[in-house]
Structures are given as structure tokens and as C-alpha cells.
Chains A and B, each alone.
Chain A
Amino acid sequence: MLAAVDPTAAAAGLVPGMPLADARSFVPGLVTRPAEPEADRAALLRLAEWCGRYSPWTAPDDAAGIKLDITGCAHLWGGEAALAADLSRRLLRQAIAHRIAVAGTLGAAWALAHFAAQDGAPAIPPPQQVREALAPLPVEALRLDPATVAGLRRVGLRRIGDLVPMPRDALARRFGAKGVADNVIRRLDQLDGTAPEPLSPLGAAPTRRVRLSFAEPIADPAELAAATRRLAGELVRWLGRDGVGARRIGLGFHRVDGRVEHIRLGTARPSRDPAHLAGLLLARLDTIDPGLGVEDMILAAFAVEPLGAEQCGFAGDPAAATATGLAPLLDRLAAQLGARALSRLEPRDSHIPERASVPVVMADNTCPAPHPNPPPHAGEGRSRSDRAGVGLSRSKPPRPVRLFEPPEPVEAFWVLPDDPPFRFFWRRRRHLVAEADGPERIAEEWWRPGAAGDAALGRDDAIRDYYRVEDETGRRFWLFRAGLPGTGRPPRWFVHGIFA
């Protein structure tokens, strides 16, 4: 089955959908390649992303189209015709055959692009002539399913011009009920803008964006860095006008070959400092492959937060350059190592050791979180919460400095069921237990789902007896036995942490 044909093949009478054997009989020397719909889709997506140089609202449209919302963007290029010409020129340079149409609605633009525009001749009718331009187009231009099209053709409605003057209720009676998704009325309404048809863009739409285009593609890191600084300065000017600071920014590098490379990063607190933002971006510049050259750079702020006017300090004042606290440092670290790399140890109200102090990624929440799974009576009284303990009170038994998560199993040997082991093997090393403290019994939190309600097996393991043991060299380990003696199953031993 042929999936697509090139102009030469089309001239020879081949059409998509034709069985390969038939096609071969038409054209004996036919050159074929297996269709790669996945790769096609990816390429289209890439192209749609590249089109982001014209407007932030771009998206691929079914198999071979890209839709752009250029509302408020065209004047930047000197009008719709100039934009289309620029787009056409750049697509030609990438050897992409294309047809371009511009119209007031997505429906009209789609119809014009598919049935009116020619290669190299974009269809851009003036607004008052759109109706005339659409009238001679076939009904297929309404984006209808083949069955509806066949139905329309059967009753002699071949062109959009035939449909438009018809009373809507008559049309609705005839074709409206067939399918909700593709009904004629809705498509007609979308054509003239009576029914809205929003374009959902690729990715998040930015709050503010600034663009820098280069007459000659650039690839030199120094030039890219200079452009980044300029963009940061420009974006900051806009942010300052809005009274906001950026929390998430993205810098897109539109390469000559139609690929787009991105740097995306977040800041720990809203920032409007051009040097800081540029510094974050520059730190990641080496991850960008400029290929044969970058022709556009677009810096966009995706998330902003209110940030009052700031005194930036007098020029040359060294204090102003540095007196900004921890946030810039964390931003730099996060930009380089990833936002997931930064975490802090958060105490939690739990007596289960690994839940009493958890590393929480700072990107998830910058302020201390409420208890994720509070005990049912938390806050009943002070004495109670003291007893449950945040795990930090000093009257508690000693806790290790390092905690293994998950606990590491050890091979242990013991005499009496309630005794700590006298010898254990851990990481292929033998440890003789010289002294031991314990046990400290820690049971599963009963209010957690799946703890007490589990089968007997889970319940056994949920009770742990912790021992602090010291081996013959003086290293102190935190061992625990999972499972109760006397339940038939042999207890298992783990090392959960090491004391300093």
C-alpha cells in the first residue's frame, strides 16, 4: 500500500492508498521506501516547534499540517504576506514543499491551505474577500469525514459556496445528526468564526517572550553568549514593566536545519536580575549543539511571580552585586545539576526511622510541607505530639548519622530469639558483636493503609526490633530484626544505619 507519493509518481498516475503490486504494474521501476509514520510525526513536531519563531502558538495539525496563531505577531514581520514569504523562503531552504494560507479562522485557513494555495503562492485573501475565496472550494475543505462528503455530493452540494447560503436548519436536519465530531454545521460555523476553535499550542504558552534573529546564522559560543545576555536584558525590561520576576524560563535556539534546542530552567525565587538569569543560561550553554548555525533565539518566561520594584544598587557597589542571599547560588546549582539535585532534610512526625527525616526535593516545595500522612489524632495535645516525637528530641535513644534506605540485609547469627546477633556478615565482611543495646521495638503506624490490614506476613515484618551494636573494631551499627520470633518464619536481619 502506498502511503505517500512524490510529484513524479503522482504524474504517473499513482495515488496514496494504492496497493503496491498495482503501483508496480503501473510503473515497473518504482522506487519505494517503507513508510515511517512515527518518524514523520516526530519531524512534523520538530517543524511545528521551529515555527515557534513566528508565534508561541504553534501545533501540528493531523498528518502533514502545522497551524500557527499569528494574531498580533504578523506586524513584527511587516504584515501577513511578508511573514508568509519569510516562512516560505526558510522552508524552501530546508527543501520542504509547503502551501501557506492565512485567514481569520483556523477553518478558513485550513481550507485555503489545502485547496487554494499553490506551491510558492500563499493564499492570503483580504478579510472581506475570504468568503469569495472559500466559495469555489470543494466541500472536502470543510474537514468532514468521507461519509459526510459523499452524502453532500450525492445531493449535489459540491462546493462550499453551495452550502453557505442554505438554511442551517435544513442542513441540520439532513446532516447534523450524523456525527457530532464532523457535523457540517459546526464546520461551517468554524469556517466563518461563529464557533470558536482555539489552538492548543505545543508546550506551555509563555507569559513573556523576546526574540533575537540573526542575519547570518551564528554558531560561535561567544556570540551565542552575547546574544543570551542581550535577550536576558530585554526580557528583564519587560518583566520589570509588568512588576514580576521569572520563576521558569526557557531559551530556544532555532537552528538553520529546522531543529530547535532548548535550555529550560527554574529559579528558587522570582528573579529580574539580568546578570543572574543570563548566568544561569550561560552555565548551560555548552549543552547546546548549534549545528550549522542558529538563526533565531527566543527567550521566554513561562512562570512569573509578582516582584516589587527593587533598588539594584549603585553601579560599582560591590555589596549590591552579592547581597542577594542563598537563592542565586541554589539557582546556579539547580541549573547545572538539575532541580532534583537539591533537597533538604525535613523532620516528619513519625516514629518510623526512615519517615522521621526525609530528603525533600526543594523544587517540589520551597516551604516545609505539612505532614503528608498525619496520624488521626495529631494535634490532640502537646504531650501526645511530644511522645510521638518528631524524631529529633534529645531524650530519645541514639540515632545513626547515616541511614540506609532501603535497609541492607545482613546474615546474622544469634543464640536466643530475643537476643541481638553475636556475629553478622555485611558487605562480605564479618563483624563480631562486642556490645549491644536494645531492643527498641518500633511497630508500623497502624493508621497507614496496608500496614495492619495486610496479610499476616506483612504484619510480622512491620514490627522491628532495633539494636545498637558495636563490633570488635568499635564501629557502631543500627541493626533490626524484622518479624517476631515464634511465628514460624525465620526473622530477617537488616542494618539500617551507622553511628558516628
Chain B
Amino acid sequence: MSDAANLAVLRDRIRRIEQPAAGINGVVPFGCAALDCALPGGGLARGAVHEILGQAGDEEDGAAAAGFAASIIARLGAGPVLWCLKRPDLYGPGLLAHGLGPARLVLVSAPRDDRILWAVEEGLRAARAAGLAAVVGEVGRLPMVAGRRLQLAAERTGAIALLLRRWRSGDEAAAERNRPSAAVTRWRIASLPAAEIPGEKGIGRPRWRVELLRCRGGAPASWEMEVADATGHVCVPAELADRPPARRYSLGPSLRRAG
């Protein structure tokens, strides 16, 4: 056998060792060619842990991260979603705007990171029996061991775990931000100034910078894209240059009073 063939076989074997999840459990494509091409297997691996970070001040609030997570879950089937967090500050109508119906959510509040990680792990282990579409956890600290446990639990049941990293302060964020973890991918979602809509004042089409910071078996990448719509669809604006501008909400100073 030639060296090149040997090398190819070895590479293939290494890839199988490195990313068994993608092989066994399949992937969830974003439906957006730019993103899917950057991910091994053509989408977000099922049966894996994915980390989603915020940017700057949003590292505390995790709003963009929650929107991105909602858009991922929107493409994951109709089961309930276990969302473990410290304080239930999610807002149903806002999530719905990114494709996640709030009726599917089961919120689990726990005061500490380790309790949240425990709840996420329980959810992942029972994901198949309970029919969960995904398990979301909002944590500050993610120790390597805990991440490994989650990854193993997710691989076993084929469920997707999304870990939104939220830090209480800038100092905590600086300490934790670049720490390695056992997650398969790490994303950072930052709000970008909205794209102007010609001829209209105010905020135009809101945009994100979606960064793939780490990806097992893939390379980091970064995109500027439109915020996920009500079907959870994300897209790179260049792809829809011909689309008519999104309908704008005209908010005159109309008095909205019930009755």
C-alpha cells in the first residue's frame, strides 16, 4: 500500500476517533450553506455538547446566545426542551420570534452552576425516554470533568446539549472565556448594528456576528448574518440580496390602551 493511501486510511480512522458523535447520531444542518460547510458532517452534531458565548456586556445577559440557541432548537423537532438556568428571565414572545415556542420549555432554576450541570446531565440521560428535543444549560463555570460527563451522556442518547455561558462580571468572564472545555463546538454570538433599510429610519434588520471559535474536526470561522427569524432560520445576508426588505414595524406614537 502506498504511503498516501496509508495516510488517508489513518486520517479517516483518526477522524472517527475524534468525532464519533457525528458518525453515530447525525447532524442538524443550519440550512445555510456558509455555516454547514464549516461544520464536519454538514451541520451541528447531534449527541454532543455545544457551547454558546455572548460578547462583551452580553456575556452577562446571554440574550444573543439565547436567541441563537432558540434558532437551533427550532430545527430540532417538536419535543419539550429542558432549559436550566439560575433565574427564569427568558421571555416567551422574544423566544418565539426566533423560532422557539415557549410552551415547549421546561425551566429548571437552580442556584449554582454545579446543580445546573447536574440537571443538564439528568436531562441528557433521560432525553430519549422523555422525548426531549434539546437540553439547555446556562452556566458560568464549566469544569473539564463536568463537560466530559455531559458529552458522554449526550453521545449515549443522541441529544443535543447547548451550554450558554453566562458570567456575573467582566472579571469572571475574562477568567473563564478562553478556558478549554469538552464541548464539540464553541460559538460566540455578538449583536451587530442592524443593517440599514434604505429609506427607513430606526433600527433596520438586526444582525449577529456568529463566530465558530472552536470546532472538533473543523476550523474556526466567522460570519455576519441576519438574526434568526420566527422559523429559526439564520442566513448570511449576501444570500438573499434579492429579497425584498423585511416588513418594518411602524410604531407611531399610537396610544395602546386596553379596553
Contacts and interface: CB of A to CB of B under 8 A. Distances in A.
Interface of A: 322-326, 328-330, 332-333, 336-337, 341-347, 351, 353, 356-357, 359, 362, 375, 388, 391-392, 394, 396-405, 418, 427, 429, 434-443, 445-447, 468-470, 472-476, 497-500
Interface in B87-103: 88-98, 102-103
Nearest to A475: B191
B contacts with A: majority SS = mixed
B191 to A, nearest CB: 4
B66 to A, nearest CB: 5
Contacts of A499: 63, 67, 94, 191, 206
A323 B62 CA distance: 35
A135 B127 CA distance: 70
A157 B220 CA distance: 99
A429 B56 CA distance: 11
Nearest to A435: B203
Nearest to A377: B259
B131 A443 contact: no
Interface string B129-171: 1111000000000000000000000000000000000000000
Which of B67, B105, B258 lies at the interface centre, i.e. has the most chain A CB atoms within 10 A of its CB?
Answer: B258
A439 B91 contact: no
A401 B56 CA distance: 17
Which 7 A-B pairs give the minimum distances between C-beta atoms?
A500-B67, A357-B92, A498-B63, A322-B129, A403-B91, A399-B93, A401-B94
B223 interface: no
B91 A343 contact: no
B230 interface: yes
A168 B85 CA distance: 70
Given A400-B91, A470-B194, A326 B131 contact: yes
Given A325-B130, A328-B129, A343-B107, A400 B63 contact: yes
Contacts of B249: 397-398, 437
A391 B92 contact: yes
Contacts of B105: 344-345
Contacts of B63: 400-402, 475, 497-500
Nearest to A327: B130
Given A324-B129, A397-B249, A475-B58, A402 B89 contact: yes
Given A398-B97, A437-B203, A473-B191, A405 B130 contact: no
Nearest to A390: B93
Contact of B110 (A341, A396, A443, A500): A341
Which of A356, A357, A397, A434 lies at the interface centre, i.e. has the most chain B CB atoms within 10 A of its CB?
Answer: A357
Interface in B57-104: 57-58, 60-64, 66-68, 70, 80, 82, 88-98, 102-103
A344 B85 CA distance: 12
Contacts of B66: 401-402, 500
B88 A359 contact: yes
B119 interface: yes
Interface in B205-243: 206-208, 227-228, 230
Given A443-B256, A500-B66, A399 B202 contact: no
Contacts of A498: 58, 61, 63
Contacts of A391: 92-93
Interface of B: 56-58, 60-64, 66-68, 70, 80, 82, 88-98, 102-103, 105-110, 115, 118-119, 122-123, 126, 128-132, 189-194, 202-204, 206-208, 227-228, 230, 249, 251, 253-259
Given A401-B63, A476-B191, A498-B58, 13 more contacts: A325-B130, A347-B102, A392-B96, A401-B64, A401-B66, A402-B61, A402-B90, A429-B57, A439-B253, A441-B255, A497-B91, A500-B67, A500-B94
Contacts of A326: 80, 106, 130-132
A418 B106 CA distance: 40
Contact of A329 (B60, B102, B130): B130
B206 A396 contact: no
B118 A401 contact: no
A341 B91 CA distance: 17
A446 B255 CA distance: 14
Contact of A401 (B82, B98, B131): B98
Contacts of B93: 347, 356-357, 391-392, 396, 399
A337 B194 CA distance: 41
A317 B204 CA distance: 56
Given A329-B126, A351-B258, A402-B62, A470 B110 contact: no
Contacts of A447: 258-259
Which of B91, B129, B207 lies at the interface centre, i.e. has the most chain A CB atoms within 10 A of its CB?
Answer: B91
A357 B191 CA distance: 24
Contacts of A401: 63-64, 66-67, 70, 90-91, 94-95, 97-98
A336 B194 CA distance: 43
B92 A342 contact: no
A468 B206 CA distance: 12
B202 A437 contact: yes
Contacts of A342: 106-108
B256 A440 contact: yes
A351 B194 contact: no
Given A342-B108, A359-B107, A398-B97, A347 B92 contact: yes
A475 B88 CA distance: 21
A432 to B, nearest CB: 11
A359 B202 CA distance: 32
B220 to A, nearest CB: 21
A408 B156 CA distance: 42
B251 A440 contact: yes
A344 B126 CA distance: 19
Contacts of A351: 256, 258
Contacts of A362: 106
A499 B227 CA distance: 10
A439 B251 contact: yes
A411 to B, nearest CB: 16
A499 B91 CA distance: 10
